[in-house]
């Protein structure tokens, strides 16, 4: 390029002859004419495309195969290798694989769809679930990442759950809205079955769980056209961003709560980052987003899934692939199961008859030993084989009590011991443990005696109200009650 510029200056500015340029630089007439006609080297340009004598006749076949692929399932489309095999087997192609590979790559590149940039007004949001691997309490497992974004300010919030379902979908919105300190006017979604039960053309039949959430917060919805995820490309980009920047390498946390605390801290720190091409930080632009949002409702929303269930002959109710016990009095009854993020409540009518810690695995059974004590009282011989009592870690004093009762009363002692255990239906384990210890100390081991001790321990002594610190009450005088009528009654009763 230096020589090009020098030759142009000597001829066009200094007036050097072309003959001297031919002599000094050793270039021909055509080369000099090109230099004088172009400010910079024009580069090599082929007059016509290079011929492909071997592959050329098959280019239309490749285009036809790729066009047909657009209607095929995404995971069952042609690779370059498969097209090469078909060209050889079905069309008599004799060339090499690399030519087919290059032609397929070129055809796919130029056939990619182009999109129109979308506008994002303040107060609008997008939501999507992603997936990542994380270690919780020493166990590596998949996490469902609920990501909600505000495209105008580029603010996003991520929360993690053991699985993608109705209650985690709701919980991700609750935590996201609380982080934004407002409710977006409209949120865009894909056609997830959690929110959409049926797609009918442009219409959507929405699920009860989604409508409950929407009715509580009063936001509007927008569902992308089927197969058009680009309509919520902002949140899809942030799903990948979160996974690459917050979860690499694979992080480890003692609990899901600790994991979500980490994610919330990362989202908060991101508020102070400036987005390319935007004025101010994300936090500055979030103020404009909030101004356009709805206020948070005064009543909190409880993420949960409500389903109808049935208690079987073992007093177990199945919910979300796991079994939970209920009192044996409700065996063979229809019940309602309310599944939350932390626990599972089971109701019969208006009464909550059982509550368990939520298990997010599958084929797990949660027993509450108290649910089976009433049945065991009628069948005391099954106490040593009752599965709900196998892992019940009772203090040692209960084993001592049972040995003494059975030594004194024989088989009736087992039933008496179960009656003692049933006192846990109205008392805490620490309180009953103290009562059993006290009963063993005085040799009163029956259920009635332990119940009396338990009641005595729970009874609160009457306290005297102190006037210290209440000078305004000292001026009040309370007259003693008139007990004459009471004395008359007691005198009459004694005389009769």
Q: pLDDT tens digits for 148-195?
A: 999 999 999 999 999 999 999 999 999 999 999 999 999 999 888 999
State yes or no: pLDDT of 220 exceeds 60. yes
284 plus 390 within the same structural domain: no
Cα separation values, 197 from 105, 125, 211, 223, 291, Å: 38, 22, 11, 12, 33
31 plus 138 within the same structural domain: no
Question: pTM for this one?
Answer: 0.70
192 plus 170 within the same structural domain: yes
Please count the structural domains in the chain.
5
211 assigned to some structural domain: yes
468 assigned to some structural domain: no
CA distance 394 to 314: 23
- Of 40-54, 265-279, 291-305, where does mean pLDDT reach its minimum? 40-54
382 assigned to some structural domain: yes
74 assigned to some structural domain: yes
221 plus 242 within the same structural domain: yes
Q: Of 366, 386, 403, at which residue does a domain stop?
A: 366
pLDDT score for 198:
86
475 assigned to some structural domain: no
Q: What is the pLDDT of residues 308-347, one digit of tens each?
A: 999 999 999 999 999 999 999 999 999 999 999 999 999 9
Q: What is the pLDDT of residues 224-263, one digit of tens each?
A: 876 555 567 788 889 999 999 999 999 999 999 999 999 9
**Residues above pLDDT 70, as percent of the chain:** 89
pLDDT score for 76:
87
Domain hosting 23: range is 2-37
Q: Which long-range contacts (CB under 8 A, 24 or more apart) does 195-202 make?
A: 195/169, 195/221, 195/223, 196/223, 199/226
77 Cβ contact partners less than 8 Å away, ≥ 6 residues apart: 69
Q: What is the pLDDT of residues 378-402, one digit of tens each?
A: 999 999 999 999 989 899 999 999 9
281 plus 209 within the same structural domain: yes
Q: What is the pLDDT of residues 83-112, one digit of tens each?
A: 999 999 999 998 899 999 988 888 887 666
pLDDT score for 111:
65
Instruction: Report DSSP state, residue 325.
Output: E
Instruction: Report DSSP state, residue 280.
Output: S
100 assigned to some structural domain: yes
246 plus 137 within the same structural domain: yes
State yes or no: pLDDT of 463 exceeds 80. no
**CA dihedral sign, ordered 396, 397, 401, 404:** positive
State yes or no: pLDDT of 54 exceeds 90. no
322 plus 445 within the same structural domain: no
481 assigned to some structural domain: no
Helix (H) or strand (E) segment spanning residue 204: strand 203-206
State yes or no: pLDDT of 459 exceeds 70. no
85 assigned to some structural domain: yes
Q: Of 110, 140, 174, at which residue does a domain stop?
A: 110
pLDDT score for 67:
86
150 plus 220 within the same structural domain: yes
Cα separation values, 146 from 270, 448, 452, Å: 17, 54, 53
389 plus 437 within the same structural domain: yes
State yes or no: pLDDT of 290 exceeds 90. yes
Outline where DSSP puts E strands in 41-138. 124-136
Helix (H) or strand (E) segment spanning residue 307: strand 304-310
Q: What is the pLDDT of residues 200-213, one digit of tens each?
A: 777 888 999 999 99
447 plus 337 within the same structural domain: no
Q: Of 366, 391, 406, at which residue does a domain stop?
A: 366
100 plus 245 within the same structural domain: no
The average confidence (pLDDT) of the chain is: 87
Q: What is the pLDDT of residues 406-427, one digit of tens each?
A: 998 888 999 999 999 999 999 9
């Amino acid at each position: 390029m230096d020589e090009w510029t020098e030759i142009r200056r000597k001829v066009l500015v200094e007036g050097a002859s072309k003959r001297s340029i031919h002599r000094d630089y050793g270039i021909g007439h055509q080369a000099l004419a090109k230099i004088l006609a172009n400010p910079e080297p024009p580069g090599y340009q082929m007059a016509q495309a290079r011929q492909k004598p071997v592959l050329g006749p098959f280019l239309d076949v490749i285009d036809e195969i790729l066009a047909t692929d657009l209607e095929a399932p995404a995971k069952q489309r042609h690779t370059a290798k498969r097209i090469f095999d078909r060209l050889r087997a079905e069309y008599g192609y004799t060339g090499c694989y690399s030519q087919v590979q290059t032609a397929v790559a070129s055809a796919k590149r130029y056939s990619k769809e182009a999109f129109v940039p979308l506008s994002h007004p303040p107060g609008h949001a997008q939501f999507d679930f992603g997936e990542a691997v994380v270690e919780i309490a020493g166990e590596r497992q998949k996490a469902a990442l609920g990501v909600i974004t505000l495209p105008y300010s580029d603010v996003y919030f991520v929360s993690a759950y053991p699985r993608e379902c109705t209650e985690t979908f709701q919980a991700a919105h609750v935590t996201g809205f609380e982080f934004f300190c407002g409710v977006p006017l409209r949120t865009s979604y894909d056609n997830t079955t959690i929110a959409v039960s049926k797609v009918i053309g442009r219409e959507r039949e929405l699920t009860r769980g989604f409508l409950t959430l929407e009715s509580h917060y009063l936001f509007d919805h927008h569902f992308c056209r089927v197969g058009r995820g680009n309509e919520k490309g902002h949140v899809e980009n942030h799903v990948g961003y979160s996974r690459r920047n917050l979860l690499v390498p694979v992080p480890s946390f003692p609990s899901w709560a600790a994991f979500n605390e980490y994610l919330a801290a990362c989202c908060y720190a991101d508020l102070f980052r400036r987005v390319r091409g935007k004025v101010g930080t994300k936090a500055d632009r979030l103020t404009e987003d909030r101004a356009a949002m709805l206020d948070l409702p005064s009543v909190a929303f409880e993420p949960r899934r409500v389903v109808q269930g049935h208690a079987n002959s073992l007093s177990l109710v199945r919910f979300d692939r796991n079994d939970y016990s209920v009192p044996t009095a409700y065996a063979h009854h229809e019940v309602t199961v309310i599944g939350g993020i932390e626990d599972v409540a089971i109701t019969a009518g208006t009464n909550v008859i059982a509550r368990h810690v939520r298990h997010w695995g599958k084929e797990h059974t949660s027993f509450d030993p108290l649910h089976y004590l009433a049945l065991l009282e009628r069948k005391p011989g099954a106490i040593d084989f009752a599965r709900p009592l196998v892992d019940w870690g009772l203090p040692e004093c209960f084993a001592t009590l049972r040995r003494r009762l059975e030594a004194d009363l024989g088989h009736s002692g087992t039933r008496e011991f179960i009656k003692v255990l049933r006192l846990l239906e109205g008392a805490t384990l620490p309180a009953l443990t103290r009562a059993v210890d006290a009963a063993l100390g005085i040799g009163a081991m029956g259920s009635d005696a332990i119940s009396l001790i338990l009641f005595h321990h729970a009874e609160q002594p009457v306290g005297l109200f102190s006037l210290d610190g209440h000078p305004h009450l000292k001026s009040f005088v309370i007259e003693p009650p008139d007990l004459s009528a009471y004395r008359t009654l007691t005198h009459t009763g004694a005389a009769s």
